Structure 1
Amino acid sequence: MRGSRVQAVSAELGNERLDIVIWDDDPAKLLINAMGPAEIGSIVLDEESQTMEVAVAKESLAQAIGKNGQNVRLCSQITGWKLNVIDKDAEEEEDSASINVSDSLKEYLDVDDDLAQILIEEGFDSLDKISNSSIESLSSVEEFDEEIAEALIDRAKEALLTLAMEISTEDDESSEEDIMAVEGVDMNLALELSQKGIKTRDDLAELSVDELQDLIDIEEEQAGSLIMKAREHWF
């Protein structure tokens, strides 16, 4: 009889439900087999800590984690690895935001990919932070000396001044596309958004709340309000 062995084992265990998992020596493949049918987008293995970061599609997240984390615990026991399950869509949004910041620094500071990434990793991820930092704090970064630090600070200040002049000119022209036309956006916020590539009302309107929060430090309620104000001209 089909499944007779499974039924026999189940009966011995007091009719406990049994799930059959196809074994694989590769821990990532074994995890995919164990976590199915949840849709896994990517798996990053850290051999040293025996940890897997598992990016799962949003619609499969609850299924992958299980009630009170039961599925994750079982999969961890099966694979012998610690599991960190994350939302794949949220991870992609974070990656996109990181790319936007990197592109902004490269454009305004005239630096290459490597230098932009170093700045981001060290917490200097905006023109404001760089322009307001001291030569001592920037030159404390291993890859920078005082000459590089001073040049970066000067370039950041020049870029902010240029952006402020551009925004001021657009404001004088009272353009409906101007981001300053959005209620709640002042010069400081406009400058911060411009550094992230958000320069027009439509740029802001096309963002989701999560995307805006990834770009700047802003409360969820304020982010939602700004986006809705930016979209008012659509209706």
Structure 2
Amino acid sequence: MNKEILSVVDAVSHEKSIPREKIFEALESALAIATKKKYDQDINIRVCINRKNGSFNTYRRWLVVNIVSNPTKEITLEAARFEDKAIQLDDYMEDCIHSVTFDRIATQIAKQVIIQKVREAEREISINQFYKKKGHIITGTVKKINRDYIILDVGNNIDGIIMREDMLPRENFRINDRVRGLLYNISHETHGAQLFISRSNADMLIELFRIEVPEIGEKLIEIKAIARDPGLRSKIAVMTCDGRIDPVGACVGMRGARVQAVSSELCGERIDVILWDNNPEKFVINSMSPADVSSIILDSSTNTINISVKACNLAQAIGRNGQNVRLASQLTGWELNVMTSLDLKKNNKFKKKECFQVFKNKLNLTDNNISALVSAGFYSIQSIANAPIHALLSITGIKSDVILSIQKKAIFILKNYSDKSVEKFNKNCIDSGLLHLKHINKIVIKKLIEKKIYTLEHLAEQSIDDLNDITALTSIQAGKLIMEARNICWFHERK
């Protein structure tokens, strides 16, 4: 029997490429289960096999507890210490018992357990190989199709799952179709590990470009940002530190071959490759491609950029259902407001008028200093107080000592005003046009500021659902408030 055990371990380990220790553990588990079948009572059995000569010993075990609820498996601490004074709670007390002789039934049970344990060990080894592929693209064959997910056979009897939300819109599969997807999660469940695969994940697009564009794999080109509307449209920003390489051209490929290969894999998803720029204004202009931008105005205090385009390009700049400007906003991290050049001029004129009033009343600045601050893109007291010193010192037309004293005054206002003064200050920091709308009160103003809605334009772009959490407004009042802002901003019906 001893030699047979060693020969079985060596044979299975060699054939299945499983470590010998795993086979020994499977044998010990099988022998323990087969031994338990010989007893009428439900008891705990442990079998220990000698790794050198194949001999094995069988032990009956009792769990040490305070109160015994199962006498065949448990023993009190007091009783256990008669045998071993050092034993503690939750330890096991063991007695060596006679190793039974196995008949045909016991041998069959042991065989089944060994087969099961070997399969589990094989699966564990295969799963461990997939941990190295996490975050990368893997390929599988459609094995089963369900309403909410599909099952893929990814090899070595391992299944992967693609949930409906991880598929592309209008994507249909048939049995035996080969599918590529991003392995983004490995979940351990009771029946084993589960591989989760996605085709809608933004990293899927990155990995496809890494495959199609060797320069990305060689780290000559870096993907800096990505915004994706899965299956419909994507924008990807790239850059390079090698002046000899055109990063956009390399990603697009000869006659668009590379980007078309990626697009074909994603059911024709339209992909815009954008040149990344450290300058936010230039980056925003690039991200609005293919629309031509006439001019932009950046407001760092509210993290917004107003973009002007020609009237004939407005629809293209906004995109279908706002898709182009939404993706550009996600890509750059700025809130983008697109309007015609004429509307931008009117908006700037109105905004500058408001800034002049706030800066003169709160900071006691001269007209020249106010003009210099506004020209440099400072439209609020917050933006001056929070601006880095080098940005303030770069403003032309204001001496360095003057601009530093202005910032100190702005910081003082923010830190030392009473709650009532801050409330008034907040009102002055947002578009005064908001204050004259119907249904506007202190509570609504406070909630709008929390939502970073500072201007009529911001309010006009909201939906009723966006204002649902403002308890001071009913749904009807919120709708009227938004429509009033739209009438003023979009149709210039200022009362």
Higher helix share: 1
Whether the TM-score (by the shorter chain) exceeds 0.5 is no
TM-score of the pair, normalised by structure 1 = 0.40
Q: Greater CA radius of gyration, 1 or 2?
A: 2
Higher strand share: 2
TM-score of the pair, normalised by structure 2 = 0.21
